[in-house]
Structure 1
């Protein structure tokens, strides 16, 4: 009997001595009994490879590859070029322009001159009408924009109390007269101190925010200004 006890104890001691206590910290590589899929042959970023002629594991896209944003990786002089025939073909809906963006020099700076003036009908139809588009815009504005621009669009959000400067007041004339497409583009790509929100706000929601901004602007007009616009 004692031999069996000694055998069991000895086997347990051997296992513990070889594998170590569970959860014990060590700088030594772990001893693996069941390999399963713990170690797989793979390439890691910025690593070397003897398989490819240039010795790199990271490969450049195949020529003609279309990016998610609708541009070709291989453009003139290495810059992306529009390839919207393959992805996001509607320039007015996805880019806020009437066709590919047209730029002209104004006061020494390149300015896009073919912004769409009004929200594309596709955005309105997709939302189920202007009322639903505006309601969605209010929700998206409150989540993404109010923190800087304020609940009513005067540029007095909570971030301005902590030093944020240059926040747009959307009730200024230059924003009242700004084309809807340009506001959409600002949401998508950012401008000056404003970061891009294209990565976190869907295309449809960007147009909804534009619609809600117009409502905010209209709500702050005087009766005389509303009358000039044909409103009450």
Structure 2
């Protein structure tokens, strides 16, 4: 969980004049998950309710500061921000499920005015071909970026600014690409997509919630863009 460091009931400021955040790691059994707050459009199954901790001691070794400085040298821990990798499988899986659904739908859904099956519709052919290419490309790039990071860490080397930039860019690109794929599938599924018991209805809501996370919002393209121009990224804990 995330919290703000305080001293004498006042937030401690970092070098940039901003409140110093701290990430803590505790077993879930130690938290009081007593706030029923997860009433959302999508990703409902995660049960991401708020929780409380009262007078709870957390050892320093179970924390990471705003700069995510490594506390261990092993490959899995030398780049603490690597935990953001978890933002890649979700959108890829959601988009894959959307395409698989529309392929099945193509066997039964008929389009108007011609009355042809969806799988015989030229517009549908173009949409799924482009979506399939976009999704497979995004997935392949995710493996490329993560593979490069892992190889670097296994060699005991520090990641370069360019590698960190590609990592951040990959998170946003994959998620936004997945959203475009699901939206395109939703469009060609038409009235079959708006039923509450339709898989694509749930997938559409899920990808919208995934895209709402601050790590993958469109503004997160900017740090990577700065690095590509050779500029320094400031006030960003992941660089």
* TM-score, normalization by structure 1: 0.21
Higher Rg of the two aligned structures: 1
Q: More relative contact order in 1 or in 2 (CA 8 Å, sep 6+)? A: 2
With normalisation by structure 2, the TM-score equals 0.21
